[in-house]
Amino acid sequence: MSLTGAGRIAGIMGWPVSQSVSPRLHGFWLEELGIDGALVPLAVKPEDFSTVLRGIMQAGFKGSSVTLPHKEAAFALCHDCDLAARAAGAVNLLIFHTNGRIEGRNTDATGLAQSLREKFGPDCVRGKAVVLLGAGGASRAAVVALHDLGAGEIRILNRTRSRADQLVAVLAAQVTPKLIVATDWMQAATGAALVIHTTSAGMKGAPALDLDLSVLPTDSAVCDIVYNPLETPLLKRAREAGLRTVDGLGMLMHQGVPAFEAFFGVTPKVTPALRQYLEEGLRAR
Ligand code: ATR
């Protein structure tokens, strides 16, 4: 690491923060590009969030990445926000401007869109139907990603239907794809080009969603935004069914690009070497 007193400093705020991959992600790029700077993990209790935020602004930080449970609190403190942040009511990137203004962005949406573009091409879902499993915060970022990719229709399938209705009510006027609340998997999956899984089912030992993937068109794809494990139970079944798959690591790497750019002033590259380095880090956990 190359760091002098003039180095550019940014943070990653979370509680806990030790599980965050961001220091490893940014550390790889800082090293690769030989930048005088650092991304510092900051373990911040929820009740201390605004105090620490003011402190790091005063200390000259360029900004901070934000992870759980602070994404909504961060959104509330921003002066300006992008569409994805407003849609999700949450930000994962804070940029501190020299005039004291705080800009908030939600780069999960751009990260997911870029990951899908990279894997399947820029027109992979243009004008097509996509199934969105889940209706929480992560699902909202996925809706904005699909808007960016020009999807024709998003069929939202959620365990609690009222939450899917709520998501449609909030986002329908802000995005171009037609938002539909699906009533069952069979209806949602028929003719779909892509399935994006954004629920927490299958995490922390909970059982994964039990979906019959054979009803999907054979040329459709399945994407999971989870990156640990890299091959989730859903992706494993999709692969075994001969469908194309995208794991959550692509989204993770690409969501970091705008943050790095804002903090350190250089656009970093997402490369196979970066993926390998992050996979090694995940395996060592
Ligand atoms: P996040 O911000 O990560 O999206 P969240 O807002 O808590 O987290 O949303 C979690 C999503 O996973 C919701 O869509 C939730 O469904 P409900 O709205 O019905 O709660 C979904 N989810 C969590 N556990 C699930 C399970 N066991 N089966 C199906 N869906 C589940």
CATH number assigned to the domain comprising residue 152: 3.40.50.720
- Claim to verify: residue 114 and residue 200 sit in the same structural domain: yes
Residues 59 and 170 in one domain: no
Distance 141 CA to ligand 1 centre (A): 14
Establish whether 71 is a catalytic residue.
yes
* C-alpha 143 chain-centroid distance: 11
pLDDT at residue number 213: 97
- For residue 219, the 8-state DSSP code is T
Q: Are residues 189 and 93 in the same domain?
A: no
Distance of CA 130 to the CA centre of its chain: 18
Q: 82 and 180, same structural domain?
A: no
Ligand 1 centre and the CA of 274: distance in Å? Answer: 30
| Same-domain status, 73 and 144 | no
**Mind listing the pLDDT tens digit for each residue in 179-222?**
999 999 999 999 999 999 999 887 767 788 999 999 999 999 99
Of the residues 71, 128, 204, 236, only one is catalytic, namely 71
Mean pLDDT, the chain, rounded, equals 95
Contact status, residue 189 vs residue 131, Cβ threshold 8 Å: yes
Q: How many CB atoms lie within 10 A of CB 123?
A: 11
Q: How far apart are CA 15 and CA 177, in angstroms?
A: 35
194 and 270 share one domain = no
Q: What is the Cα–Cα distance from 184 to 49, expressed in whole angstroms?
A: 40
At residue 160's C-alpha, the angle toward residues 154 and 240, to 5°, is 60
Quick check: is 197 in a domain?
yes
Q: Whose C-alpha lies nearest to ligand 1, atom 8? A: 136
Instruction: Specify the number of domains making up the chain.
Output: 2
Residue 1 belongs to a domain: no
Mapping DSSP onto H, E and C, the string for 123-156 reads CCCECCEEEEECCCHHHHHHHHHHHHCCECEEEE
Return the residue whose CA atom lies nearest to atom 6 of ligand 1: 136
pLDDT at 1 over 70: no
Q: Is 226 a domain residue?
A: yes
CB atoms within 10 A of CB 254: 21
Contact yes or no for 215/190 (Cβ under 8 A)? yes
Which of 177, 123, 122 is closest to 155 using CA atoms?
Answer: 177
Q: Does ligand 1 lie within 6 Å of residue 200's CB atom?
A: yes
- Same domain (yes/no): 227, 266: no
Any domain includes 268: yes
Q: Whose CA is nearest to atom 7 of ligand 1?
A: 136
Do 117 and 184 belong to one domain? yes
Is there a single domain that holds both residue 204 and residue 143? yes
Same domain, 138 and 87: no
Give residue-wise pLDDT tens across range 154-190: 999 999 999 999 999 999 999 999 999 999 999 999 9
CATH number, position 32: 3.40.50.10860
51 in the same domain as 23: yes
Cα 281 from Cα 25, distance rounded (Å):
10
Q: Indicate whether 66 belongs to any domain.
A: yes
Does the pLDDT at position 60 exceed 70? yes
pTM, whole model, 2 decimals? 0.94
Residue 185 lies inside a defined structural domain of this protein: yes
Residues 224 and 266 in one domain: no
Gap between the Cα atoms of 94 and 105, Å rounded: 7
Which residues constitute the domain of residue 91?
8-106+250-283
Is residue 127, in this structure, part of any structural domain at all?
yes
pLDDT score, position 204: 66
Give a yes or no: residue 3 inside a domain: no
